[in-house]
Chain A
Amino acid sequence: MQYISPTTVDEAVHALSSATGACRILAGGTDLLVQMRAGMKRPDTLLDIKRIDALHQITAEDGGWRIGAAVSGAEMGEHAALVSDWPGVVEAVNLIGSTQIQGRATMAGNLCNASPAADSVPALVAANAVARVVGPHGQRDVAVLDIPSGPGKTTLEPGEFVASTYLPARGARSADAYLRFIPRTEMDIAVVGAAVSLTLDADGICTAARVALGAVAPKVLLVEAAARALIGSRLDAPALDALAEACSAAAKPIADKRGTVEFRTQVAGVLARRATLIAQTRAGGPA
């Protein structure tokens, strides 16, 4: 096995496309090094992207934020302006692992590890985030929703990797929230995750919404019926009931040691409802 640590994106793209055998991108390493130790992954080359300065930046861009693939969760949590615009995305990232893990783990890594239970991914999908994918044929922008294709699998082509993630501009009276269910108080993997991003008008009526669920299907779900239930409403009881019903209907979970199908199906609706109310409060709507 070899370890390489290029200092530019171009160098990394070239190294990745010319590598012989299996090459894995090393960002925070909090999944990859564990998988290597367990023998689940045996790369011939590890390509460490943390020496690429550009990928360490959180940059304001067109009113939104571009977050480099090497930015750690801790760095996102310490960025006050990012937290203010996208509190749900940041709280989802910051739920991943311990303080030690936060010092290393990256949002792009969480996305590309492609766990159905990844905490940041529903929040990114609700945020309508876009991944910038680089590869031998240049760069392309891909909706985060379209990056994972199933457990441990992504739609990235050979030679491609995610260089950054873009969170769009946030309008007035807009906010997001992410909640997950775990049986412990911290340091666990989501049994169900729910993210809501919404915009309110001056009268408190919801004018835009996106709702996403994690850990209830092979990949993250964008639940458009749930968003439709919110849009045009004051987020009152009937709208929230319809939202919860749509989320439970969309959930197609498996049963495992962490939760049954019935439990996950119901909790998907419960969490989406609670996340909506948190997002509403953050957006300046009624508490």
Chain B
Amino acid sequence: MSAIHVTTTINNDATEFLCAPDETLLDVLRDRLGLTGSKEGCGSGDCGACSVMLDGRLVCACLVLGAEAEGRTVATIEGMAVGETLHPLQRKFLEHAALQCGICTPGFLIAAKALLERHPDPTEEEARYWLAGNLCRCTGYDKIIRAVLDAAAEMREAG
């Protein structure tokens, strides 16, 4: 099995890596690039803990091959805060205590950011459906939804 050389952009940084043909983008991020913010929950696209943006689309990194990232742009949770300044969603998750064990949190944040980029003023129902592919087993959904809607309101005000 020969390694594939991939040139891609991750969180605005030009990045190169070698990967096996059947190696997932999630494994590349975590095991080759040290970007361990994206989590592996199920590895089958059900839990959303590995959510990343691929060319502006929300996807599960466990269902993308590393080789597919060639020439594309990837955004992960590591790129969400700007320096020491948290993204409003990250801040609101803390304020609302919208996390417990934290495994699902990076995926929820990436997915929620994708939601607010498309729908700055989502209804609760829209937010719940959009985030249906992100599972939290500490059962914090209400706090998560409140944090997302609160962040949305703040971001709209900040305009």
For A185, what are the chain B residues with a Cβ–Cβ distance below 8 Å?
132
Cα-based distance from A3 to B66 in the complex (angstroms) = 11
B99 within 8 A of A: no
Stretch at the interface among B29-37, B53-61, B79-87, B139-147: B53-61
A48 within 8 A of B: yes
For A36, what are the chain B residues with a Cβ–Cβ distance below 8 Å?
22
Stretch at the interface among A100-108, A116-124, A152-160: A100-108
Query: A48 contacts B43, CB within 8 Å?
Result: no
- Which chain B residue lies CB-closest to A33? B63
Query: A46 contacts B22, CB within 8 Å?
Result: yes
A232 within 8 A of B: no
B133 within 8 A of A: yes
Query: B129 contacts A50, CB within 8 Å?
Result: no
Query: A1 contacts B1, CB within 8 Å?
Result: yes
Cα-based distance from A26 to B114 in the complex (angstroms) = 25
For A98, what are the chain B residues with a Cβ–Cβ distance below 8 Å?
45, 48, 132-134
A60 within 8 A of B: no
Query: B21 contacts A3, CB within 8 Å?
Result: yes
Query: B68 contacts A34, CB within 8 Å?
Result: no
- Which chain A residue lies CB-closest to B19? A3
Query: A97 contacts B68, CB within 8 Å?
Result: no
For B20, what are the chain A residues with a Cβ–Cβ distance below 8 Å?
1
Query: B44 contacts A103, CB within 8 Å?
Result: no
How would residues 29 to 49 of chain A score, 1 for a CB under 8 Å from any chain B CB and 0 otherwise?
A: 110011011100000001010
Query: A37 contacts B44, CB within 8 Å?
Result: yes
CB distance from B136 to the nearest CB of A (A): 14
Interface residue total, chain A, C-beta cutoff 8 A: 28
Cα-based distance from A181 to B63 in the complex (angstroms) = 26
Indicate which residue in B64, B115, B133 contacts A29 across the interface (CB closer than 8 Å): B64
- Which chain A residue lies CB-closest to B129? A186
A260 within 8 A of B: no
B51 within 8 A of A: yes
B65 within 8 A of A: yes
Once A3-B65, A34-B44 are accepted as A-B contacts, the answer to whether A101 and B60 lie under 8 Å apart by CB is: yes
Cα-based distance from A260 to B63 in the complex (angstroms) = 32
Secondary structure at chain B's binding surface: helix, strand, loop or mixed? mixed
Indicate which residue in B59, B131, B132 contacts A104 across the interface (CB closer than 8 Å): B59
Query: B67 contacts A100, CB within 8 Å?
Result: no
Query: B63 contacts A48, CB within 8 Å?
Result: no
Cα-based distance from A29 to B61 in the complex (angstroms) = 11
Cα-based distance from A33 to B67 in the complex (angstroms) = 13
Once A46-B65, A48-B68 are accepted as A-B contacts, the answer to whether A103 and B22 lie under 8 Å apart by CB is: no
Query: A100 contacts B129, CB within 8 Å?
Result: no
Query: B68 contacts A99, CB within 8 Å?
Result: no
For A187, what are the chain B residues with a Cβ–Cβ distance below 8 Å?
46, 132-133
A128 within 8 A of B: no
Indicate which residue in A1, A38, A101 contacts B45 across the interface (CB closer than 8 Å): A101
Once A33-B63, A100-B58 are accepted as A-B contacts, the answer to whether A3 and B133 lie under 8 Å apart by CB is: no
Indicate which residue in A37, A38, A100, A186 contacts B59 across the interface (CB closer than 8 Å): A100
Query: B111 contacts A100, CB within 8 Å?
Result: yes
- Which chain A residue lies CB-closest to B67? A3
A248 within 8 A of B: no
Cα-based distance from A144 to B131 in the complex (angstroms) = 32
A142 within 8 A of B: no
A74 within 8 A of B: yes
- Which chain B residue lies CB-closest to A46? B21
B4 within 8 A of A: yes
Cα-based distance from A104 to B4 in the complex (angstroms) = 22
15 residue pairs of the A-B complex, CB under 8 angstroms, read A5-B67, A5-B68, A46-B65, A48-B65, A48-B68, A97-B45, A98-B48, A98-B132, A98-B134, A99-B114, A99-B131, A100-B58, A101-B60, A103-B57, A186-B132
B interface residues, Cβ below 8 angstroms from A: 1-2, 4, 20-22, 24, 43-46, 48, 51, 54, 57-60, 62-65, 67-68, 70, 111, 114-115, 129-134
User: Which 7 residue pairs spanning A and B have beta carbons closest together?
Assistant: A98-B133, A3-B21, A103-B57, A100-B60, A103-B59, A100-B133, A34-B44
